[in-house]
Amino acid sequence: MDNSNKQVVSSNFVGRGEPQVWATGTALSIILLIAVVLILVVALNGLGYFWPSNLAQFNLADGSSVIGEIHGEEVAKRSGTDRVQLKIGNRDLYGLDFRWFDRSDIEETSFPENAIALERIEYGNFYGFLKHTDAPGVELDQDDTRDAFELAWKDIKDQQETLAAMDGEIRHINYELKRARSKRHKREYAEGITTRTENPQSPDEIDAKARLDAVASEKDETVARLAVNVAVFTDAAGTEKEIRLMDIERVTRPNAMSISEKVFHYLDKLVELFLGEPRESNTEGGLFPAIFGTVMLVFLMSLFSFPFGIIAGVYLREYAKQGILVRTVRIAVNNLAGVPSIVYGIFGLGFFIYGIGGAIDRVFFTEQLPTPTFGSGGILWASLTLGLLTVPVVIVATEEALGTIPQGIREGSLSLGATKFQTLVRVLLPMASPGILTGFILAMARAAGEVAPLMITGVVKLAPSLPIDGQFPYIHAERKFMHLGFHIYDVGFQSPNVEAAKPMVFVTALLLVLLVLVMSSVAIFMRNRMKKRFSVSDF
Amino acid sequence: MDIKTNPRTLRWAKRRDKAARWVITIGGVLIIGAVVLMLLLILNVSIPLFQQPSSNLLKRLSVDSDALGHIFAIGIDDYKEVVYAIHEPNDVTFFDVQSGEILERMTLDGQASKQGIHVTAIDHWSDHRYAMFWSDRGASAVEIRFIPQFDSSGSRTINFEVTSILEMRDANVSNPGIARMRADAGGATLAFVGDDSMVQVVKSTATEDLFGEVSTKNEHASLPTPLPGVITLLELDDPGITLYAGTDEGYLGRWDLSGPAPFVLTDSLKASETGSPITALQTVFGGVSIAIGTANGDFATWFPVTSESSDGKRLQKIHRLPSHTASVVDVVPSLRDKSLITRDSDGNVRIAHMTTERELLSLPTEKLLESHAISAKGDGLILYQKGAITIWDLHKPHPEASFSTLFKKVWYEGYDKPEFVWQSSASSDDYEPKLSLIPLMFGSFKGTLYAMVFAVPLALLAALYTSQFLRPEIAGVVKPAVEIMASVPSVVIGFLIALWLAPLVEGYIVEFFLSIILIPVVFVVFIMIWRLFDGSHLHRKVERGLEFIAVVPVLLGSGFIAYLLAPTVEQALFGGDLKIWLYESVGERYDQRNAIVIAFGLGFAAIPIIFTMAEDALSSLPQSLKAASLALGASRWQTAWRVVLPSASPGIFAAVIIGFGRVIGETMIVLMATGNTPIIDWSPFNGMRTLSANIAVEIPEAPVNGTLYRVLFLSAAILFMLTFVLNTAAEVIRQRLRKKYGQFQ
């Protein structure tokens, strides 16, 4: 394929068509450049979010002063003025998170050592300075305001853990109450009473309600006790702000942090990301429920799609009589992979949720109606829908993998006296396993990245409880769930403060991209290796 | 080897083999059945949209007409359990539908019988509201209310009551047969033709003062009627702010009563071309349109539209509904949709839908019909003729959906011409859903075409380069890399496009366009310079499949030059701001989320698919073809362009089709980055709404089995079939290609 024909080469660069070749090369470069840029944008924005940036204090020309993280900088296009965007935080004081400043208005920029950044449960970050601590609930013998604050805050945080335990208990008792109530409803329904009361009536309910009230009032007391412990902060302009210690999640003084401290902080935030619960309508905190939901969804999907996919693939390749019908079916299955995912979603809604789910409700949960149990979106229906969506991928992969096995191997096995099934299980499937596995991984990657069908089959912005927990029957397949992909859509497009939520979306996007890219890279790598193993060179 | 166990093992193995064969066959057939089921189910949900409405006779009650006297009006409750008749002298009688027995007979006004007066005519509007005109020329309004009650066992009893809305004893109504009145707690509007044949209007407003005392103020006006002919009918809309009058020469007048007197005659026109007398006038649900029936059986609806000749809106004939063979004597509007139930003098009763201009149903002819009414839910119709009340069940679940509303231009109320509109819901109750799928299909195609313009050349050229010119060891990396690109979740692409690229492109729009122009220019310059080195060592090295790296500086360089030049260019050509220039000179609004950024997003999703399949098609051609061409002295480009490309063209075509199919159903990218406005506009600076995004946006709010729900299923079926056909075509083409070139291998 070397084209080094000397006469032609030297005769005419253009006539030989070299510029055209270059043009095609340009197309490839453009594609690769776009891909690299997109991946870089996600990676840089996503990775940088947790790095504690320094707090800059601007003394402005009008005499005021402001503190915050430098977020961006640009030269305004037409006026040519240089502008700096500062994340000023303190949403409860200023109402907005970001502000632009003209460079010319900034008289002095400093990075005060004692500037403090607080991550709060509500209202986003606070930037300012510590004034004093007022914590009657904590015994302090420190004179230094700073140490006193740290000690008091740590103490309160420790005490807050009992609160978390109480929350868990409340959830637990609530669940018991709900079960007891639906049990009573069921009994009442059997007796022919159709009017349902939510008030506790059976002994179980009354007992649970009493315990619930006890824990709730204990919790209220604890909250009241902790809430009096406050610290007073000032913003750059000197406005005082009293903040309850229990509302503070994390305290940093980024300007005084060493690199190693910053690394530690970064890792700490990563741990929170993977294991923590979301806060502030998902724009802060962790992604644990979304990660859990995604993983469980993919797992359930695999349970449905893999066995059926293999069976159908084996049937098409090994059992069905090859003819026009099988050819048609094969084309149809291939095409199903190209059917828009939203169509699968619609099908899931019509067939699984309203069809099967509605029927289950009518038969087994009659006493709950009209409140749906299985008749509304849930992780079971979502994963069945995704299973249907990925079945073609598995079928095609199985078929292709079986197809690459030379006919001689089958004949060899059969001639040795093995039955068709033995040949399949002992010879063909093991040989095809890398290819089938590739299909699995591709299916999982597709399932993990799909969002549109989930949106109509049960994904929610914020699920109150996970689909698996410690309460009987442990797996709650009818529950709604959270998902990384939907998290991106929801936080990026439905949250009230998109600008402030953006960094979090980049983090989620990075996580999802990494997950999917790693999965499909492995799959493609495996497939290419398998191709080499079986392909017979003939040129 | 243990020979003894052999027969047993053999039996076992055979049995297992048989079982497995069955399981696998059944499983396989089931899976394939599921595929078919999927399409069938989706279609099954949408098919009821096109079902013919049906009716069946629920009950025929015999009524002792002599005992009741003349019956002015009849009505039925929502559950179709109680029927009532308002009759002489001023009574209402309730009947039980099941047994046909009289439940109760009450008087509409206790005072009246003492004073020896009786009802002479009745006018009906809204849900069970009646205006009554008395023999002493007074007027009053009542409402009949049904209150369903459920006992503890869940069974239902319907209670009813008659409440008085208002009384006007001194109204002095003449010609009560055609008098009209609308009233509520805040006041009333009364219109009648006076003894001097002038139209008389009485507007009464009730005001409550500080102490809770209600005082009413009456405003009288006498309207001159320049209409030819004698007024045969009057009609008021439900709020009583528009008055219509029809004459026996087919003329129609409209007055605006919303302000204080004097009231303006806003329209006077000939409503019947043949001059046939107007025999029925009825405002359609929503109060915008007026339905006009004439003595020759013509039936049409009119509403005001902006006219060119004059300022303000003028009535215009919009929808011509199927005509009757005899004079249209009465029209009753549905209280749920734009359906109208008409009755002619021969006793034909028909239900027609205004917007779709079609007849939904017609009931068997019954001579001597005297009146008819519809239940508030629109699912029951009652007819009265001497001696009997007949009750019909109506089943017309989706009156507003028809092939023409879904796919053709429709003239909706409030629009100046027929248009394709998608607007499925609004805040008000009397809103008519507008369900044209055309803007959505247009949006899908627009987004797809823009994306293909971006993606197809890039992907195909890159595939050609990768398969023909790129070093094999690099191709071994590039190919899987592009394949992996295909698995980037679309929600991530959509997010990046909408929140990162769209603001970026908006800020640097001139730079963007400039670099599109500059890249070819700089490229040509670069090639001209490069030519000078033809034959050099560097040249030879790069031309062994590394060109794509060498042009990277060209691309980045032209981008940078564009960035430097942009302010000057924008100043010189567009007066400093392209967006303002666009708006002022071209009339185009620049949306941040527009077709350009969509093209990027969808293109990015499509490129890996098109690239991979086209590359497969190109590199699976027999090497002998290429070798022969090169051996005959063709250059590598000539070989690629004249030999390889034409041979692989079916496969490349298939790749483009599959890419098209993938893009047209893509949901998340368009949902996030289009702005989701269902407009029909090819401009690259506007957004769109696609079929797929529309499903995602609307389905959570669509009531199960409602019209919108079914229309969304229909759009899913369209998407399904569209992609299925495209993919099948591509697959068939590919298989043909495989067969054709299989012999070489």
Give the mean model confidence (pLDDT) for residues B671-680.
87
pLDDT exceeds cutoff 50 at B728: yes
Nearest to A236 by CA among A391, A108, A119: A108
pTM over 0.90: no
- Note the pLDDT of residue B683: 86
Does A507 fall in a domain? yes
- Note the pLDDT of residue B309: 67
Does A426 fall in a domain? yes
Give the mean model confidence (pLDDT) for residues A230-253.
84
Q: Distance (Å, rounded) from C-alpha B563 to C-alpha B570? A: 11
Of A76, A107, A130, which residue is a domain's last? A130
Quick: pLDDT tens for B100-144. 888 888 888 766 666 778 888 888 888 888 888 888 888 888 888
How much is the CA Rg of chain B, to the nearest whole Å? 37
Does A152 fall in a domain? yes
More confident residue, B190 or B13: B190
Q: Assess contact for A297 and A481: CB atoms under 8 A.
A: yes
3-class secondary-structure state, position B508: coil
- Do the interacting molecules here have an ipTM over 0.90? no
Does A415 fall in a domain? yes
Does A411 fall in a domain? yes
Query: Which residues in A lie closer than 8 A to residue B13 (C-beta atoms)?
Result: 418-419, 421-422
pLDDT tier at B5, thresholds 50, 70, 90: low
> What is the torsional sign of CA A151, A153, A156, A161?
negative
Together in a domain, A325 and A427 = yes
Exposed, middle or buried: residue B321 (CB in 10 Å: 0-12, 13-18, 19+)?
A: buried
Average pLDDT over chain B, rounded to whole? 85
Does A321 fall in a domain? yes
Which pair of tokens denotes residue B466?
């990768």
Q: Distance (Å, rounded) from C-alpha A35 to C-alpha A17? A: 28
Q: Distance (Å, rounded) from C-alpha A110 to C-alpha A86? A: 13
Give pairs for B255-263: CB < 8 Å, separation 24+. Answer: B255/B199, B255/B201, B255/B223, B257/B189, B257/B201, B257/B203, B260/B219, B261/B201, B261/B203, B261/B219, B261/B220, B261/B221, B262/B221, B263/B201, B263/B221, B263/B223
pLDDT tier at A528, thresholds 50, 70, 90: confident
B201 touches chain A (CB under 8 A): no
pLDDT exceeds cutoff 70 at B186: yes
Domains and CATH numbers, chain B: 54-406 (2.130.10.10), 438-742 (1.10.3720.10)
Contact partners, residue B61, CB within 8 Å, separation at least 6: B83, B95, B97, B100, B388, B389, B390, B391
Q: 3-class secondary structure for A478-515?
A: CCCECCHHHHHHHHHHHCCCHHHHHHHHHHHHHHHHHH
Q: Assess contact for B503 and B592: CB atoms under 8 A.
A: yes
Together in a domain, A176 and A122 = no
Contact partners, residue B419, CB within 8 Å, separation at least 6: B409, B410, B411, B412, B436
Measure CA B281 to chain center: 29
Buried b (16+ CB within 10 A) or exposed e, B452-483: bebbbebbbbbbbbbbbbbeeeebeebbbbbb
Does the distance separating the beta carbons of B491 and A512 come in below 8 Å?
yes
Element (H, E) at A322: none
Does A157 fall in a domain? yes
> What is the torsional sign of CA B532, B536, B540, B546?
negative
pLDDT tier at B604, thresholds 50, 70, 90: very high
Amino acid letter for position B217: K
Contact partners, residue A108, CB within 8 Å, separation at least 6: A58, A59
Q: Distance (Å, rounded) from C-alpha B106 to C-alpha A92? A: 65
Together in a domain, A114 and A176 = no
CATH of residue A426: 1.10.3720.10
Q: Which residue has the tokens 């089938």?
A: A436
Which pair of tokens denotes residue A485?
């992909």
Query: Which residues in A lie closer than 8 A to residue B726 (C-beta atoms)?
Result: 338
Of A130, A162, A185, which residue is a domain's last? A130
Of A103, A130, A157, which residue is a domain's last? A130
Count interface pairs A-B at CB distance under 8 A.
Answer: 330
Q: Distance (Å, rounded) from C-alpha A336 to C-alpha A308? A: 15
Q: Distance (Å, rounded) from C-alpha B160 to C-alpha A106? A: 76
Does the distance separating the beta carbons of B481 and A449 come in below 8 Å?
no
Element (H, E) at B698: helix B691-698
- Note the pLDDT of residue A6: 42
Q: Assess contact for B278 and B248: CB atoms under 8 A.
A: yes
Together in a domain, A93 and A143 = no
Does the distance separating the beta carbons of A336 and B35 come in below 8 Å?
yes
C-alpha distances in Å from residue B698, one per residue of A129, A428, B422, B712, B714? 48, 47, 11, 8, 13
Which pair of tokens denotes residue B738?
């495989």
Which pair of tokens denotes residue B422?
């998608």
Quick: pLDDT tens for A443-460. 888 888 889 999 988 888
Q: Residue A52: CA atoms inside 13 Å, Cβ hemisphere, count?
A: 28
- Note the pLDDT of residue B460: 94
Q: Which residue has the tokens 């009053």?
A: B140
Quick: pLDDT tens for A331-383. 878 888 888 999 999 999 988 888 888 888 888 877 766 777 777 888 999 99
- Note the pLDDT of residue A123: 81
A529 touches chain B (CB under 8 A): no
Together in a domain, A392 and A485 = yes
pLDDT exceeds cutoff 60 at B744: no
Range among A470-474, B58-62, B537-541 rated most confident: B58-62
Buried b (16+ CB within 10 A) or exposed e, B700-732: eebeeeebbbbbbbbbbbbbbebbbebbbbbbe
Neighbour count for residue B226 (Cβ, 10 Å): 9
How much is the CA Rg of chain A, to the nearest whole Å? 31
Give pairs for B87-93: CB < 8 Å, separation 24+. Answer: B88/B118, B88/B119, B89/B113, B89/B118, B89/B119, B90/B117, B90/B118, B90/B119, B90/B132, B90/B134, B92/B144, B92/B162, B93/B68
B388 touches chain A (CB under 8 A): no
Among B478, B530, B696, whose Cβ lies nearest the Cβ of A452? B696
| Backbone angle region of A281, left / alpha / beta, with phi > 0 → left and psi within -120 to 50 → alpha | left
- Note the pLDDT of residue A29: 92
Which structural domain, as residue segments, surrounds residue A224? Answer: 136-228
Contact partners, residue B486, CB within 8 Å, separation at least 6: A520, B605, B608, B609, B612
Strands (E), A76-214: 82-87, 98-102, 106-110, 116-120, 126-134
Together in a domain, A163 and A301 = no
Together in a domain, A332 and A201 = no
Together in a domain, A472 and A503 = yes
Does the distance separating the beta carbons of A13 and B488 come in below 8 Å?
no
Together in a domain, A112 and A153 = no
Does A185 fall in a domain? yes
Query: Which residues in A lie closer than 8 A to residue B495 (C-beta atoms)?
Result: 488-489, 492, 505, 509
Query: Which residues in B lie closer than 8 A to residue A85 (C-beta atoms)?
Result: none
B696 touches chain A (CB under 8 A): yes
Together in a domain, A114 and A60 = yes
Exposed, middle or buried: residue B640 (CB in 10 Å: 0-12, 13-18, 19+)?
A: buried
Instruction: Give residues 554 to 583 of B whose Cβ lies within 8 Å of A.
Output: 554-555, 567, 576-577
pLDDT exceeds cutoff 50 at B251: yes
- Note the pLDDT of residue A357: 87
- Note the pLDDT of residue B158: 83
Instruction: Give the nearest chain B residue to A514 (CA atoms).
Output: B488
Contact partners, residue A179, CB within 8 Å, separation at least 6: A472
- Note the pLDDT of residue B113: 66
Backbone φ and ψ of B201, nearest 5°: -125, 130
pLDDT exceeds cutoff 80 at B261: no
CATH of residue A123: 2.30.30
Most B CBs within 10 A among A346, A352, A442, hence the mutation to make, goes to: A346
pLDDT exceeds cutoff 90 at A415: yes
More confident residue, B168 or B4: B168
Distance from CA of B145 to the nearest CA of A (A): 26
Together in a domain, A385 and A403 = yes
Quick: pLDDT tens for A88-97. 888 888 877 7
pLDDT tier at B569, thresholds 50, 70, 90: confident
Measure CA B82 to chain center: 36
Give the mean model confidence (pLDDT) for residues A99-118.
84
Neighbour count for residue B22 (Cβ, 10 Å): 11
Q: Distance (Å, rounded) from C-alpha B545 to C-alpha B527? A: 16
Report the domain count for chain A: 3
Strands (E), B295-431: 299-306, 313-321, 328-333, 339-344, 349-353, 358-363, 369-374, 380-385, 388-395, 422-423
Together in a domain, A519 and A477 = yes
pLDDT exceeds cutoff 60 at B512: yes
